[in-house]
Amino acid sequence: MTEEFSCDDFLGGRVRAFQPRRGYRAGVDPVLLAASIDARPGQSILELGCGVGVASLCLANRVPGVSVTGVEMQPVYAALAMLNAKENNAAFHVVEADLRKLPHELRQRRFDHVMMNPPYFDRTAGTKSKDTGRDVALGGDTPLADWLDIGIRRLGPRAYLSLIQRTERLPEVLAALDGRLGSIVVKPIAGREERAPELFLLRARQEGRAAFQMAPTLVMHEGATHQGDKESYTPLVTRILRSGAELPVTS
């Protein structure tokens, strides 16, 4: 690897991933998404927009025996995801493709879980980043409704769709799911106690019949304010980020 890339530890070093030093870099969010997937050995998972593969690799590490497929349209990120799959000896297959133009073999498959970390910002309402990788990851030109539609179409019977997204886009997500998926659970994510949630995790089910549920907020940091350079994650978040613990969405 050249100096353009770094090799970063996730789950306390249980997962290592090469990623660009500049541009979009995976951080905490894909780890939280992976931790929220209630998968079992033998199940199949599809990640749309997998980037360098951090979410998929964290899930594969936590639940041995799952089969994970990732779709990534940017060649550099797709190549890094393939490399990271080998480096971590993970059951993680990477497909380089635009999610709007999935290969025929993927369009014929259905999965037990579909997960995604779609771009957080509406491209039509923001300024394009000079870095292509960062721009596609944070904005891109695929509407959020298209991400959700494509994900829903890949779900098998009683399968789950999960995503992480910014709070202001929750109405947009719920509108796209209306009448198509049920048993929707939303888990807000706040930086600290008494702060408004900036993100949310959402899980919905094919053929789900349970009522909508707003789960308790996941608080990331202890204390009301940032105190120096020391790490301040709450005990649950520490277990998720450092030990690969599961994140129950409903509690």
Cβ atoms of 40 and 23 within 8 Å: the answer is no
**What does each C-alpha distance from 9 to 57, 58, 87, 102, 203 come to in angstroms?**
12, 11, 12, 30, 27
We report the CATH number of the domain holding residue 239 as 3.40.50.150
Whole-angstrom distance, CA of residue 134 vs CA of residue 121: 12
| Inside any domain, residue 104 | yes
pLDDT computed for residue 142 by the predictor: 93
pLDDT of residue 138: 46
For residue 129, give the amino acid letter.
Answer: S
User: Per-10-residue mean pLDDT for the chain, 251 residues long?
Assistant: 88 97 94 98 98 98 98 97 98 97 97 97 56 48 95 98 98 98 98 96 98 98 77 95 97 88
Q: pTM for the whole thing?
A: 0.90
Question: Does residue 171 lie in a domain region?
Answer: yes
Does 70 fall in a domain?
Answer: yes
User: Does some domain include residue 248?
Assistant: no
Handedness of CA 83, 154, 141, 29 (dihedral sign): negative
Tell me, what's the pLDDT at 125? Answer: 53
Structural domain boundaries, residue 39: 5-243
In a domain, 249, yes or no: no
Residue 196 within a domain: yes
Residue 41 is assigned to a structural domain of this protein: yes
Q: Is 53 helix (H, G, I), strand (E, B) or coil?
A: coil
Cα–Cα separations (whole angstroms), residue 190 to 139, 170, 221, 224, 232 = 22, 15, 8, 12, 14
pLDDT of residue 134: 43
Within-domain flag for 226: yes
* Residue among 22, 92, 91 nearest 53 (CA): 92
Split into its structural domains, the chain has a count of: 1
Using the 8-state DSSP alphabet, how is residue 13 labeled? G
